[in-house]
Amino acid sequence: MFTIASTPAKQSVSETISTLASRLSSSTLLEDRRAAILGLRSFAKEYPASVASDALRGLITSLGNDGEDVDTVKVVLETLLMLFNPNENSPEASEEIALWLADEFTQRQDNITLLLDFLDTNDFYSRLYSLQLLSAILASRTERTEECIFTAPLGISRLVAVLDDRREAVRNEALSLLTYLTPSSSELQKVVAFENVFDRIFNIIKLEGSLSHGDRIVEDCLILLANLLRLNVSNQSFFRETGCVPKLARLLNDALNEEGAEAEIAEWAKVQRNRNIYALLAVLRLFLITGSVGTRANQASFWQNGVLALVLQLAFSRATEMQIKAEALTTCADLIRGNPSLQEAFAQLQVTSVLDEPVVEGDGAVQQNGIPKVYVIDGLLDLALSVPSVAAFDSRLAACECIKAYFFNHPAIRKHFLRRAIDGHTSGADETANVLTTLLQPLDGHVSADPYRYWLAAVILFHLIYEDSEAKTLAMSVVEGDASTGEEVVTCIQTITENLIIGIQKNVDERVLVAYLMLLCGWLFEDPDGVNDFLGEGSNIQSLVQAVLQAGPDGVFVPGLSAMLLGIVYEFSTKDSPVPRATIHPILASRMGRDQYIDRLERMRRHPLLQDFEVLPQKLSSAPPGSLPEVFFDTTFVEFVKDNFNRLKRAIDRDPGMEIPVIANGIQKGISREMVDSLRSQLEEKTKSLTKVEEELLSVGRQLGQEQADHRRAKETYAVELARIKHVNEALQRHHEEEQKYAILLSPSPRQLTMNKLKSEHARAMQDLHRQLESTHKATEAEKARITQDHQRQLDHVQRTAEANAERTRKRTEAEISDLKSSVSKLEADLEKANKNHLQDLQTAHDEYTTTKTEQAARLRRAEEKAKEAEERSQAANEKASKAKSALAEKEKERATAQSEYDDMLMVFGDLEEKVEKYKEQLKALGETVSDAEDDEEEDED
């Protein structure tokens, strides 16, 4: 009896996947493994987690073991790709599965190398699926995959070589993988570039139909090119040196030629063409980063190969879309910015006019050659100021950027541009594209139709004068009205302020008001002359305060900028301004108030259009369709506001006595005007005192010279008196000698010895007197060369010598008289003895005695008279010597007094010189200039 077997139990999906995975790992036959892989592939889309957990390593092992079998490799790679891209409705679908799969591949370098090895085969699917799998792994684990590919043997070389594959699918997949592989790693970029990738990219672009006919592949090639060149100076230099810049020029030239030759093309083709051209312009701008090391060399290379002229032609072509025009003009700005030689040569280029319409032939065709040419600066001004279309906003803004780049960091071009604008305005020529004429003309009713005309003109003028004192002075020379004919003269700043106030009162478009306020803030900042010009019309302060106070709920920029302008005016006003600081501060503090001032500034600073300016697109695309773009500020002005916001916020708190801050080494220091005035008055007083002291010093010097002359005359008088005394002494000596000789002749022979004795003693006395007179004479001669103290000492010596000589003369005379008397007594005794012995001789002796006695008495009387006369003469000489001594003492006293006064004056003058030097150092420390001429005059007087 036969029985029917029961139906086998139905196997679950997980059990089936486990069974297939077991067969894949345990089967020895290739067919069995391939069958197991096909079974797993059927589950990979719906059950990626189960297949990956049970069979992932087996699948990877199969790639290594069965790599020579193309069919097996194809099935394995398809299964792995399905695991990375499961069905969206799968219950096991998850992003974590891709991360898990990528981790499994990247944890071992051999797994990535295994996939790269399949690029060496010619099999279509092996190459294609390997590239796709590498792209999937790269998308999940970017850094690790880049590292594995970079370290794999010939990994980059094999990837780049795939670009030469004739099969577009494989080539395009390799292009896509390289694009995702190279955006950030500079080392990978360099390795890829040195695999001759630039030539391969240009070959692909050429094969795909260049910029005009190429599809998305051309755009991908340009994106890859951008990845390789972005911020990579080495690759940019390699690009120039390998002759790739002319290839860029040919691409641009072909695109321009195609635009002029083609008629109608499909809309999708036109869009792709624009995308291709836009991508190429973006590549060009990568070479022109401001401040980069290789920017100058790149600018020179593009100029030499005609890239600038081609980009400019593209920007002014009638067939170019507005978006492309804007990017082309921005590229032109980058091409010339900061390069003086290119900035100067740029103005000589010519472009087609944007205002004049081309000539139309009889059949209705446009004659391109009929469009007139204008110089590029005129063309840019026409585009920026004379094309009122809203759709052209991006190109107008780019034209403004190109004009700014034209005079960027080039003072000569900036002043030339400003002078040309001034000449065009003052000459009255009909120049609609003149920035000064645009800003100074009265606001009309059509101002709101094209507010960006005023905005762009203000931005250009703002950059012309910003942080350039010479340009500000030149712009301030523009005035309206002729004073010689009685007209009121209105300056440029006053006219702009008047237009601003009228615009606020008429409630014109906010962009126009912001333009005027931006210009005035940049002009008056750190420009006291401009502030004084602004304050020349006293009602300006009141009008701006009113604008700050009348802020509506939506009005942020006009009140905020008005408050900022008031802060700048107060910050840089002076005591001598038409409206002094002391007057401005109460107006701001009372009418507007500190809280209102700070609130307006902070509300403006927090507004997204100012706070997030750097990340917001300044383009037409940011505005709703049909409305004006939300572009209110210039980039440089935003930087100016953010840099000086805190300073201007504190301006209202600054004391009115503190004037223009001085910026020294980045440190702000205030100066008090009262202190400056006080120091100046002190300087004037000290100068007057110094002049007075100098005059007194000159007077004392003259008095000292007079005293010295008097002293010299006193010395000469003393010498004359001394010579006269010497002469008197010599006369006395001669008279005494004569008396001695006469006495000797009259004396009798018995008395000869006595007279000889007297004569010899008298001669010795006279010799002593003569020697004393000679010594006195020598001492007197030496006294002329000595100081005043020696004169006094020698004068005393002369006096004592004269007294001693007179005393000795008197004593010797008395001795002579005593000797004569003793001789008479002796003779009388002898006579009496002789009378006793010889009576006869007595009478004779008596007669002789009487005669001799009479004669001796007469001689004695004469000698006494002469002695008395000599004594009187000696006394007279002593009196004269005493008078001379007293006169000399008085002169010496006067000289000592004059010398003391002179020394005191020298000490006072020395103290004054020290004080003057201290004052000069203080003045120099305060910044005042002190001349050294006075020091030179003092040295000359010395």
Average pLDDT over residues 682-687: 79
- pLDDT at res. 798: 45
Give the three-class secondary structure for 662: strand
Residue that the structure tokens 């697109």 belong to: 617
Alpha helices by DSSP H, 230-287? 233-241, 245-261, 267-286
Complete DSSP assignment for 842-871: HHHHHHHHHHHHHHHHHHHHHHHHHHHHHH
CA–CA gap between residue 335 and residue 307 (Å, rounded): 9
- Whether the pLDDT of residue 816 is over 60: the answer is no
User: Which long-range contacts link 202-206 to residues 24+ away (Cβ below 8 Å)?
Assistant: 202/244, 202/247, 204/163, 204/171, 204/175, 205/251
Phi-psi region of 526 (alpha: psi -120 to 50; beta: other; left: phi over 0): left
% of residues, the chain, pLDDT over 90: 49
- Whether the pLDDT of residue 805 is over 70: the answer is no
Q: Using pLDDT thresholds of 50, 70 and 90, give the confidence band for residue 89.
A: confident
% of residues, the chain, pLDDT over 70: 76
Q: How many CB atoms lie within 10 A of CB 431?
A: 19
Alpha helices by DSSP H, 4-123? 13-26, 30-44, 48-65, 70-84, 95-106, 109-117
Average pLDDT over residues 327-356: 94
Least confident span in 188-197, 332-341, 664-673: 664-673
Complete DSSP assignment for 97-141: HHHHHHHHHHTSHHHHHHHHHGGGS--HHHHHHHHHHHHHHHHHS
Average pLDDT over residues 538-544: 91
- Whether the pLDDT of residue 438 is over 80: the answer is yes
- Whether the pLDDT of residue 333 is over 90: the answer is yes
Q: Using pLDDT thresholds of 50, 70 and 90, give the confidence band for residue 668.
A: very low
pLDDT in tens, 157-212: 999 999 999 999 999 999 999 999 999 999 999 999 999 999 999 999 999 999 99
Alpha helices by DSSP H, 407-468? 411-426, 435-440, 451-465
Q: How many CB atoms lie within 10 A of CB 772?
A: 18
Complete DSSP assignment for 357-381: PPEE-TTS-EEGGGSPEEEHHHHHH
Q: What's the mean pLDDT when you consider all of the chain?
A: 82
Q: Which of 333, 300, 327 shows the shortest CA–CA distance to 314? A: 327
- Whether the pLDDT of residue 867 is over 90: the answer is no
Average pLDDT over residues 328-339: 96
Average pLDDT over residues 217-246: 96
Give the three-class secondary structure for 190: helix
Q: Using pLDDT thresholds of 50, 70 and 90, give the confidence band for residue 677.
A: low
Q: Using pLDDT thresholds of 50, 70 and 90, give the confidence band for residue 895.
A: confident
Average pLDDT over residues 678-701: 78
The secondary structure of residue 29, as a DSSP letter, is: S
pLDDT in tens, 648-658: 999 888 888 87
- pLDDT at res. 122: 92
Distances (CA, A) of 928 to 552, 713, 919, 922, 925: 49, 51, 11, 9, 7
Token code pair at residue 910: 């020395």
Q: Which of 240, 255, 354 shows the shortest CA–CA distance to 288? A: 240
Q: Which helix (H) or strand (E) holds 479?
A: strand 479-480
Residues 348 and 356 sit within 8 Å (Cβ to Cβ): no
Least confident span in 208-222, 585-599, 756-770, 796-810: 796-810
- Whether the pLDDT of residue 300 is over 90: the answer is yes
Q: Which of 778, 779, 805, 793 shows the shortest CA–CA distance to 888? A: 793
Average pLDDT over residues 747-765: 54
Distances (CA, A) of 335 to 191, 344, 400, 415: 28, 12, 15, 21
- Whether the pLDDT of residue 31 is over 50: the answer is yes
Residue 520's contacts (CB-CB under 8 Å, 6 or more residues apart) are 493, 496, 497, 500, 534, 565
Average pLDDT over residues 383-407: 94
pLDDT in tens, 69-85: 999 999 999 999 999 99
Residues 547 and 562 sit within 8 Å (Cβ to Cβ): yes
Q: Which residues pair with 352 in a beta bridge?
A: 373
- Whether the pLDDT of residue 918 is over 60: the answer is yes
- pLDDT at res. 865: 75
Average pLDDT over residues 259-272: 75
Q: Using pLDDT thresholds of 50, 70 and 90, give the confidence band for residue 360.
A: very low
Q: What is the distance of C-alpha 475 from the center of its chain? A: 23
- pLDDT at res. 932: 55
Q: Using pLDDT thresholds of 50, 70 and 90, give the confidence band for residue 461.
A: very high
